[in-house]
Structure 1
Amino acid sequence: MACSRNYRLTLNVYQGDNVKVNADATEISTTVAVKLDTTTAAEAVTVQFGRNLWITVVTAELLLPLQVGQTYSYNVLFRSSDDPSDKGDLRTDGLLKDSEHEGRSQKALGYKPDELPTFVLPADDPANLFIAHASCRKMHGHGMDALAHLDDIIKKSVIGVDVDPFKRPQQLFLTGDQIYADDVPGMLLFNAGLKDGGSLVGQETVQIRINNSASTENVEVDSVSFPPFLRQHLLAEYAGLTSGGSSRCHLISFEEFAGTYLNYWSVRSWNLDFYKEIKKIGDEIKKTGGKVKTVIAQVADKFLQDDSLPETSGLIPIIRDVDNLRGNATQFVFNDKLNEIFNESPPAEKFNSWKTGIKNRLIGELKEMAEFADSLPQVSRVMANTPTYMVFDDHEVTDDWNLSKRWQNQVFSKPLGRDVIRNGLMAYAVFQDWGNVPDEYVAIEQAGENANTLKPRTKLIRKISDYCFSIANTSGLDALRENTISPIENLLGMGAATIPAQDLVRWHYNVDTGPTKTYVLDTRTRRNFPSLNSPPGLVSKEALLEQTPETVPFGNAPFSFVISAAPVFGLQSFEELIQPAAASVVGITTTTGPNPGVLQGQIDYDFEAWGFNFEALENLIQRLAKLEKVILLSGDVHYGFSSVLDYWEGSGTTPKARMIQLTASSLKNESFGFEHLYRSALAEKVLTGIGDKLEKLVWINKVLSVTGDVSIRNRNRLRQNPAVLPTAGWQTGATVNQAPDYRYRMSVQTDLTVREDDLVTEDVVLNNPTSLKEGYKKIVQRSQENFISGVHRRMVWPSNVGLIKFEADGASWKVKHEFLFRKGDRDINKNIVGTHIKHTMPLVASGSETNRPQIT
């Protein structure tokens, strides 16, 4: 819970659903439902994280365990620590009805007026297990917010005609990029730290090293020193960040990160004036069917420069007066190009061109933001009714975060680079990780505790609170870096001091999921870097042993879930051919700019897939093979797909393990423009591997020799450790002197559902011109429909959320991966396009799938 003042919170849990609360003369709210007993009072006190920001996680430890198949309701009561009369609960605070709250639209969290929100536990029986997963949700990303679609599912299971606790998501895993810190809408950046005019946290400063010298200057973080749309040069030059053009609106301070999280998840957090401008656009979209160009242009003009407001209220007046407002700040804000633009008097061609470019970007952002704001109340309700777990990828902090050792050296050697990374991780701890593992975060000192035994996360949350308290109360600022910031950086493993590994904050965790466990990997801060420029191993071998189990959880779990932000088994054609080739071309041809050469190629093509580092990938495969049946959940790539990997060990003739990769991405950040070409049938065929199966043989710690003719590339692969070679492409008669240690086959899955438009009344007759013409016509028409809708058999391009269910398959199970995406799209014949793609994968190989890979 995030509050604007200090409160004490109490969590009440009730048995059943449709629990209605009513006002009472002696209590805040009453209900006839059974309130579950707790071992101790389920209370918490909010912790100060800013001038107008108080947050806590409140937990209830129940006397008796919750039951699977039972729906439970909950209420949160609050009372002010300073004013006894200031008290309430979800109902009195207006959260249990559809209404306008202080001018902002919201949905009843309990689906009916005055009814409490609910949740259910994951089912023990896989037949009733229902898990959702998703990633990559950008406020101004293209497309609808697919997370809102889960609201329809939950609503039907709660108040529909088919009420059933097993027909709603029992857990939701958000697998990365829950915010885009490196690409924030300009108007949000202007308002992220403001709650109806008041600062959330207070005035923060960051350090900038001057001209690469040893001296630094403290610069206040605000829209004067760091104006929206003008941060790219600053962050590239003084922080070493590589987000490119999107970093023109990059988050810097903890307040900006905190405000962005709040705005992403709750419409109540939006500055009211800001919200009204966005709602004006949203209302016009509904009224005109999307024709909002004039209204958006008016909002953009007002943001850039508004003569009716004080002189420095608009962006352009602030930029023009920056020298008077912030002294030497101009040396950081302006580079030669900007000086040339703004020093023209009167403003002429270059200034007008710059302003037009900014306005066009604003116009593109505002329409998407209006749609985001319109569906945000549904998203808030989804999260209020579904146990939700999260993990970072890169965009929570900055694009390309820990891309390579060179990148790491470049950023961490600069004070501003460390400030941005630290503030991003501090915000992640408060707004995401605290809810993942609340037992490891004890934010307020407990009586009789031993400081020497405190968990690293507890030390971190207290230091973050100390930092925010100092900023909010302008106290101890002279010693803030020494007493607070340096210890935080040490806990995060990015400080000057070397502390024992067990005292560092570790971000991986695991949670119970019905009959099994889910293991969430940290693939960002525990990487290994073989060299300065080489692709990283996303998890080092040492970290892998910490983050994954040696044996099957619970002893006989039917499968295990493992979460990796980036897909472990991606699209091989893309990862092994297209990305490396494109990155190499960029690296060779880029000779200017902040990152010439190899690094620029890696940056442009996200050179950090699991498949780019054979050693790390093979370590993971071997580790997961011990679990035998593994379901991997991932996001990151802005398309959805499913794949299967079968694993043979040693001389085994049948697969020892099966690993199923489920990727759902993005929630709201569709590829469009030139990238729209990826939606074509030909592109999908190329990306999923022409043939849809990939086989490889692997040798570990072996000295290998070959007989017969072998390609130069394969000879080079044989000299590496591990030696990883495809089975295809060998010369006839070529052999290796030793059998592989293991081998695997990966295949991309296809939706085999028969659709109405698939039915053909007769086969195409090749020697019949009429039949041939009509057959080709149907093929072209179907491809065109798929291109428009993004609905393919293997890949999903529209904004989507993944749904995971199971069905019995003899003594084992089949995994059903269904993609739910935007509704109402129509094909070229004006027919509504279906909104589901389904991939079904058995957890045990059968038939020809059991034929082990051989050199061919």
Structure 2
Amino acid sequence: MELPLLLAGPILRRVERKRFVAWLATSQRCDLKLTLSPSQAPEQSYHLRAGEAGLNAIQAGKHLHFLLLDVPLDEELPSDTWVAYQLALGTGGEGAAHWRDLGELAPDLCYDGHSLPGFRLSGRVHSVLHGSCRKPHHGAGDGLVRADQLLAQWLADSDAGSDANSKDSTHSDWPAALMLSGDQIYADDVAGPLLRRIHHLIPLLGLPDEPLAGAGDEVKAGSAEALYQHPDCYYRRDRLLPQTRRNRGLAQVLFRGAEKPVFTTANARNHLITLAEMLVMYLLVWSPTLWRCGTCGMPKGLDQEEQDLYRKQDDAVEGFAEGLAAVQRLFAHIPVAMIFDDHDVTDDWNLTRGWEESAYGHPFSSRVIGNALLAYLLCQGWGNSPDAFPAELMQRVANTLKLPGGEEHDNLLVDLLRFDHWHYVWNLNPPLVVADCRTHRWRSESSADKPSGLMDWEALTDLQHDLKGLPAVLLVSSAPIFGVKLIEVIQRVFTYVGLPLMVDAENWMSHRGAASAILNIFRHSRTPGHFVILSGDVHYSFVYDVELRGRLRGPDIYQICSSGLANSFPERLLATLDHLNRWLYSPRSPLNWLTRRRSMRVIPRKPEGTPHGRRLLNGAGIGLVELDDEGVPTRICQYLADGGVVEFTRREHESRWR
């Protein structure tokens, strides 16, 4: 069948007054024409040829091309003004004889009353959207669809000239960015119907076969094609993934002699493995286009339990797909910043030194992790900071995509696993500083089973350098820096008995060195006066105001966690943990008095409208933070996928030293 020309995108990425960066995927090699039309400035037009300055093109398959526009602009774009843009895609070889614009390629891309997509660049950040953890088969709605509704309502109000500051307005200013702080895909937890569709699309896109080094005798011939035909391809991939006998401490007593999986996710039965699977996954979670390319029946060989699960997941996945036109529209209208967390690669990624030794010590598991990181580079990291990826590296990526599975592929993945520029800064006002909390781990030297610090000394030093002299900052840490105390204590107990992987013991305070270093950064004399920390990861939302005390008063810190976009925490368990946390660590509790850090005052904010006393919000949605001119939050809320809105209000009398 003939594939549509535009497979995914356009996604606005690092858009600045003198720079326009956007990402898209196409089925053919294309030239582009870009026209920017600010409402109060002259129009700018650019003709971009694939492979030349301004248009980076990488072919991943016969019918799959990734394009990154990175255009230095002739004239500065105005701030706080609507900028409409047009993209036309030209095919037909030299001279691009056939041109098609976005109105033809994606007719649902524009909001009502507008014939072109557009965006606004904020002179000062007064609003930002943020979220994490988007699992397609979760079945509880999609926070990105809710975000699209917010932009549609705001634009309609703006066009109508309504008071943007009225109580009924969605928010007071067009968001400066959408921050996706992790788990944009779940490479380690894929619904059977979604994996089935991925395999249906791989040959249509003409993605090459990939030899799988170290896959073992279970996958005959050790190739991607053999994997796709294997009887354990669906719901039994955990049988194909490598195992290890490495156990230590009390865990060795509990699991003596038993083989343990390298991939520790509880849902590894459909773990993505090949590079082709990873790349197609991104196309399917960001765009509706490829969902229209034929139907996929249930694979053969499933037992009754697997068939029932497949049907249940199929309903959830189809519901997810229905919202993708809205997601595509959202991404075309707001700069999108991204950073990985574990599920973008695999659960517990780099959690302990022992995990790293097991995972990277096996060629098959190392390939799986590296493939996920390579797919992240192409689909997420590239647009965050294009300057971080030199032409030589991207040429190696292009060579690998032409002939995956060979020595060049493996050498590239080794270098990507050592790559140290996934973090970045966007020069907003205040700046958006995005930390890499996955590949710069502070590994424990005393025990391979102790959790690694989320950032090592060198990375924290670089972070301090980025923060020096700023009056305010939007700091992104995938995992909350200041988390729920009871949950952190539970993680500490499991770590003590040698089972940190069982409870995802990933919090800043689990590693003494990293915890001390990040607190010292906050206390530095030249640190920003206002920190807004945007986090996700934990599948529930909360807000803490944090004050650090010492010889001099520290900065004002606002820990804001929005999670998940399409995920949630087990409701009864979260309610129990929330209740126990408030009871055991209330300001009047002896336990809180004995364990507190006297130099840290934490003030939890209440999510209004939730059951009495709750401080942790459970429900899929998107977070919104509004800021004043000093970078101080004036409104923090969660827009739920079911249509509700929850505001977080400060409760001064509940503050406690911890």
What TM-score do you get using the length of structure 1 for normalisation? Answer: 0.65
Distance 1:196 1:254 in 2: 10
* Residue in 2 that maps onto 1:111: 111
Q: Which residue of 2 aligns with 1:512?
A: 427
Find 2:43's aligned residue among 35, 44, 56.
Answer: 35
1:816 aligned residue? 635
Question: CA offset at residue 121 of structure 1?
Answer: 1.3
Find the counterpart in structure 2 of residue 264 from structure 1. Answer: 285
Distance 1:436 1:67 in 2: 22
Is residue 2:300 matched to residue 1:315? yes
**1:396-545 residue pairs with structure 2 within 5 A?**
396-441=344-389, 455=390, 458-471=391-404, 481-482=406-407, 484-493=408-417, 504-513=419-428, 515-530=429-444, 531-545=447-461
- SS of the aligned residue for 1:111 comes to coil
Question: For residue 358 of structure 1, what is the amino acid of its counterpart?
Answer: E
Report which of the two structures shows the higher radius of gyration computed on alpha carbons: 1
Whether the 8 Å CA contact 1:196–1:273 is kept in 2: the answer is no
User: Residues 813 and 730 (structure 1 numbering): CA distance in 2 closer, same or farther, change over 3 Å?
Assistant: closer
Q: Does 1:798 align with 2:604?
A: no
Residue 129 of structure 2 aligns to a residue whose secondary structure is strand
2:263 maps to 242
- The equivalences for 1:37-116 within 5 A come to 43-44=54-55, 46-80=57-91, 82=93, 84-93=96-105, 95=106, 97=107, 108-112=108-112, 115-116=115-116
2:484, 2:48 → 1: CA distance? Answer: 51
SS in 1 for 2:213: strand
Partner residue, 2:184: 178
| 1:750 aligns with one of 598, 603, 606 | 606
* Corresponding position: 1:657 with 2:555: yes
Alignment RMSD = 3.3
8 Å CA contact 2:193–2:317 kept in 1: the answer is no
Higher RCO (CA 8 Å, separation ≥ 6 residues): 2
Deviations 1:602-630 (A, max 9, x none): 22210121121122112111113332321
Aligned twin of 1:6: 29
2:478 corresponds to 1:565: yes
Give the letter aligned to residue 676 of structure 1: E
Q: What is the alpha-carbon distance in structure 2 between the residues aligned to residue 422 and residue 744 of structure 1? A: 40
Alpha-carbon shift at residue 397 of structure 1 (Å) = 0.7
Determine helix, strand or coil for the equivalent of 1:728: helix
1:122 aligns with 2:17: no
Q: How far apart are the structure 1 equivalents of 2:139 and 2:588?
A: 33
1:288-326 deviations in Å (ceiling 9; x for gaps): xxxxxxxxxxxxxx50xxxxxxxxxx331xxxxxxxxxx
SS at match of 1:747: strand
Q: Secondary structure at the residue paired with 1:235?
A: coil
Change (3 A) 1:407 1:509: same
Q: CA deviation at 1:575?
A: 0.7
Counterpart CA distance in 1 for 2:356 and 2:434 is: 23
Alpha-carbon distance between aligned partners in 2 of 1:468 and 1:573, rounded to the nearest angstrom: 46
CA contact (8 A) 1:182 1:251 kept: yes
Shift of 1:236: 4.0
Deviation digits for residues 47-100 of structure 1, max 9, x if unmatched?
Answer: 21122211111133222222221011111111115274332110232x1x3xxx
Identity %: 24
Q: In the alignment, is residue 608 of structure 1 matched against residue 506 of structure 2?
A: yes
Whole-Å separation in 1 of the counterparts to 2:234 and 2:336: 32
1:419-445 CA deviation, whole Å, 9 max, x = no partner? 10110000000000111012334xxxx
Change (3 A) 1:131 1:676: same
Higher alpha-carbon deviation: 611-620 or 61-70: 61-70
Contact 1:135–1:176 under 8 Å retained in 2: yes
CA distance 1:688–1:77, change in 2 (3 Å) = farther
Is 1:355 paired with 2:355? Answer: no
Q: Tell me: CA distance 1:840–1:512, structure 2 relative to 1, closer, same or farther (3 Å).
A: farther
Code of the residue aligned with 1:662 in structure 2: it is I
Please tell me whether residue 382 in structure 1 is matched to residue 330 in structure 2.
yes
Cα contact 1:47–1:54 (8 A) shared by 2: yes
- How far, CA to CA, are the matches of 2:387 and 2:122 in structure 1? 20
Is the Cα–Cα contact under 8 Å of residues 584 and 592 in structure 2 kept in the other structure? Answer: no
Contact map agreement 2:530 2:631 (CA 8 A) in 1: no
Q: CA deviation at 1:678?
A: 3.3
Partner SS, residue 195 of structure 1: helix
For the residues of structure 1 that align with 2:81 and 2:292, how far apart are their CA atoms?
39
Preserved contact between residue 393 and residue 524 of structure 1 (Cα < 8 Å): yes
CA gap of 1:241–1:614, structure 2 versus 1, over 3 A, is same
Query: In the alignment, does 2:487 pair up with 1:574?
Result: yes
Q: Distance in 2 between matches of 1:812 and 1:14?
A: 30
Q: Is the 8 A contact 1:519 1:548 kept in 2?
A: no
Give the corresponding residue for 2:538: 637
Please give the alpha-carbon distance, in whole angstroms, between the structure 2 residues aligned to 1:73 and 1:193. Answer: 37
| SS class of match (1:804) | strand
Shift of 1:189: 1.2
The change in CA–CA distance for 1:747 and 1:848 in structure 2 (over 3 A counts) is closer
Residue type matched to 1:249 in 2?
Answer: N
- Write the letter of the residue equivalent to 1:172: L
1:193 shift after superposition: 4.5
- CA distance in 1 between counterparts of 2:326 and 2:234 reads 29
| Post-superposition offset of 1:168 | 2.7
Shift of 1:807: 4.2
Flag the 1:229–1:813 CA change in 2: closer, same or farther, 3 A. Answer: closer
User: How many matched pairs?
Assistant: 599
Q: Is the 8 A contact 2:522 2:554 kept in 1?
A: no
Please state whether the residue corresponding to 2:31 is helix, strand or coil: strand
Aligned-pair distance for 1:150? 1.2
Instruction: Give, in whole Å, the separation in 1 of the partners of 2:543 and 2:370.
Output: 35
Residue 251 in structure 1 maps to residue 272 in structure 2: yes
- The answer (yes or no) to whether the contact 1:196–1:271 under 8 Å persists in 2 is no
Alignment-derived partner of residue 4 in structure 2: none
Query: Which residue of 578, 603, 625 maps to 2:523?
Result: 625
| 1:641-720 equivalent positions in 2, closer than 5 A | 641-649=542-550, 651-652=551-552, 655-671=553-569, 675-678=570-573, 680=575, 683-688=577-582, 690-692=584-586
Q: Distance in 1 between matches of 2:470 and 2:518?
A: 21
**Is 2:598 the partner of 1:729?**
no
Q: In structure 2, list runs of 5 or more residues that go unmatched.
A: 1-23, 165-170, 245-259
1:606 partner letter: D
Per the alignment, residue 463 of structure 2 pairs with 547
**CA separation of 1:199/1:812 partners in 2, compared to 1, >3 Å: closer, same or farther?**
closer
SS of equivalent to 1:60: strand
